[in-house]
Structure 1
Amino acid sequence: MTHAPTRTLPRRRTLPAGQSGSLWQSRPSCGIFEFRGMRLQLAVEDPAEVLFPTDCGLSLIAALNGDDAPDLNGVNALDIGAGSGLYSVALLAAGAKRVTALDINPASAAQTVANVLTNGLDATRLTCVTSPVEDYAPHGTFDLVITNPPHLPHDPGYARGDGLETALVAKEGGRAMYDAVVERMDTLLAPGGILLMAHSSLADIPRTVAQLTGRGYETHTLEIVEMDIPLLTYAEHKDTMLGLLKERRAAGRADFDGSRFTVHALMFRRPLASAGR
């Protein structure tokens, strides 16, 4: 008798309710995090212009500390939605050969460079680009792409014109950046390359998985982290935002319980040969 291979369930971590920054040792504008045996520091000068990373973004860093995480040494990596440089700093510290930090927010570049230098890392291995992912045209492809897309649904009532908006809120019901990343992946990621994504359950995880597995990408969940929906920043518009999320949940496009949701640390590997589209 042939037995099917045993599938191990992804690690699950539950952050305490009602607490902010549970994965950080300090915050909100300066934090310390542990990554692969290194103690790294991250800061932002103006949290309204460049968002200090939330637990949603940091959950992917935590997942990459696991035994099943990919080797980062020597990779040529693209950090989509770099923000303050959380992933760029971590990748360079872990031995990435080159990192390109891409963000639509012009303030991101200076903050990312500052954080790279603060940690004593080689800034000559870093390239910062200000551009929407849809318009970005690199010279060649990347071994690894990493991203934590904005995942909250857009509404004119709480729309803002600053870096906080671009980091947290996305059109298309919170799916705009996810769809843009998926659409560009075959041109950005080298065959056999890896996409690492912090994917919010508020933004239709099954859709992203189906889109990429349909192209032959292998999918693996490194870790699932349960946490509070980041409503404090939008306290005046909490009811509006929750109303939009409930509409998406009723349509099967969001998953949350009360004010709690999950972030899935997903790893996709592009096939060596294209499956066709």
Structure 2
Amino acid sequence: MTDSPIRTLTRRRVLPAGENGSLWETRPSCGIFGFRGMRLRFMVEDPSEILFPTDCGLSLLSALNDDHAPGLKGVNALDLGAGSGLYSVALLAAGAERVTALDINPASVAQTGANVMANGLDGTRLTCVISLLEEYTPETPFDLVITNPPHLPYDPSYATGNGLEAALVARRGGRAVYDSIVERMDTLLAPGGTLLMAHSSLADIPRTVAELTARGYESETLEIFEMDIPLLAYAEHKETMLTLLKKQRAAGRAEFDGSRFTVHALMFRRPGGATGR
């Protein structure tokens, strides 16, 4: 991966309130996004099982469109929590040598493959794996790991057990997957490798940064996005979820204002040998 220059000011992009999917050109089940000079088409065939990517997930790709973003060509990458394959498509289109799409949802495999093929990309460079993160060990560590973890707090009243819940909701106040990523990163990422993460302010960004920094990782904020809390899928339980989030905020583990929060596009570098191509 190529080094990025040190930034003195992190760009903040404020998305309009109430405009669902404002980073997409079209929605809700088919979208087009521009990425590094390419126009990539993206769809979800069964929105009840696979979440069509929200602005939270797309924000990381928007940050990676920046001139100072890291190089992606030639990397061996892990799309962690691949869902419908948003990051897998973008990485392969940008010239990644190989991409492994990891998800616990079996529906992710078919949808990721379909989106890769729909964009005319080489499907032989894609490997899909259905597994819990805690049970997955790669044959060789990756140059790059990219992820948008679930970040909404769990409550039994709106637990569904389907693919949408896996994409949005996590136990331990929305921290469960973030915690697993921190614990597993030395296994997943090669020395000198890069972790790219869309991190919600609802799930304690300072904690993730502090824990990876303690492990020797260097961190950088590529861009900050302000947007609406994704409550559309949980309209019936909006007040329950907001009550949980307010408790998290009171404990210093979440930051939001009314129905607005931020997503930080973060880059972490593992110390060790360079993996640049």
TM range (shorter): over 0.9
Matches within 5 A, 1:214-233: 214-233=214-233
- Deviations along 1:208-239, one digit per CA (max 9) or x if unpaired, are 00000011101000000000001111111010
Matched, 1:60 2:31: no
Aligned residue for 1:90?
A: 90
SS in 2 for 1:157: helix
1:125 Cα offset (Å): 0.1
Alpha-carbon distance in 1 for matches of 2:264, 2:48:
26
Matched, 1:263 2:254: no
Q: Write the deviation string for residues 234-256 of structure 1: whole angstroms up to 9, x where unpaired.
A: 11101000000000000000000
2:72 corresponds in structure 1 to 72
Partner of 2:133, secondary structure, is coil
Q: Helix, strand or coil: the match of 2:183?
A: helix
* Partner of residue 245, structure 1: 245
Q: Quick one: which amino acid aligns to residue 48 of structure 1?
A: S
Q: Give 2:210's aligned residue.
A: 210
Once superposed, which parts of structure 1, at least 4 consecutive aligned residues long, lie more than 3 Å away?
A: none
Contact 2:137/2:187 (8 A) holds in 1 = no
Tell me which residue corresponds to 1:29.
29
Identity %: 78
What RMSD over aligned residues (CA atoms) do the two structures have, in Å? Answer: 1.1
* Aligned residue runs from structure 1 range 125-136, under 5 A: 125-136=125-136
**Distance of 1:145 and 1:211 partners within structure 2:** 17
- Structure 2 CA distance, aligned partners of 1:6 and 1:154? 37
Tell me whether 1:173 sits opposite 2:144 in the alignment: no
Partner of 1:43: 43
AA in 1 matched with 2:196: L
Inter-partner Cα distance in structure 1 for 2:7 and 2:57: 26
Tell me the amino acid that sits aligned with residue 265 of structure 1: A
Alpha-carbon distance between aligned partners in 2 of 1:66 and 1:10, rounded to the nearest angstrom: 12
Work out the CA distance in 2 between the residues paired with 1:107 and 1:261: 29
Counterpart in 1 of 2:13?
A: 13
Partners of 1:97 and 1:267 lie apart in 2 by: 20
TM-score (norm 2): 0.96
Calculate the TM-score normalised by the size of structure 1.
Answer: 0.96
Q: What secondary structure, in the 3-state scheme, does the structure 1 residue paired with 2:173 have?
A: helix
Q: Does 1:156 align with 2:159?
A: no
Deviations 1:255-277 (A, max 9, x none): 0000000000000000007xxxx
Amino acid at match of 1:221: T
Q: SS of 2:234's equivalent?
A: helix
Shift of 1:7: 4.8
Tell me which amino acid in the other structure corresponds to 1:156: P
Partners of 1:98 and 1:191 in 2: how far apart? 18
CA displacement at 1:202 relative to structure 2: 0.1
| Aligned CA distance change for structure 1 residues 21 and 216 (closer, same or farther; 3 Å) | same
Deviation (angstroms), 1:65: 0.4
- SS of the aligned residue for 2:134 comes to coil
State yes or no: 1:124 paired with 2:124.
yes
Structure 2 distance, partners of 1:160, 1:20, is 23
Number of residues paired by the alignment?
Answer: 269
- Following superposition, the deviation at residue 48 of structure 1 comes to 1.1
What CA distance in whole angstroms lies between the structure 2 residues aligned with 1:93 and 1:8? 30
Q: Supply the distance in 2 between the matched residues of 1:170 and 1:121 (Cα, whole angstroms).
A: 32
Instruction: Give CA deviations for 1:74-96 in whole Å, capped at 9, x if unaligned.
Output: 00000000000000000000000
Q: Work out the CA distance in 2 between the residues paired with 1:17 and 1:91.
A: 29
Tell me the CA shift for residue 6 of structure 1.
Answer: 7.9
d(CA) in 1 for partners of 2:68, 2:115 = 27
Cα distance in 2 between the residues matched to 1:84 and 1:231: 20
SS in 2 for 1:134: helix
Displacement of 1:104 in angstroms is 0.4
- Which consecutive residues of structure 1, in runs of 5 or more, have no partner in the other structure? none
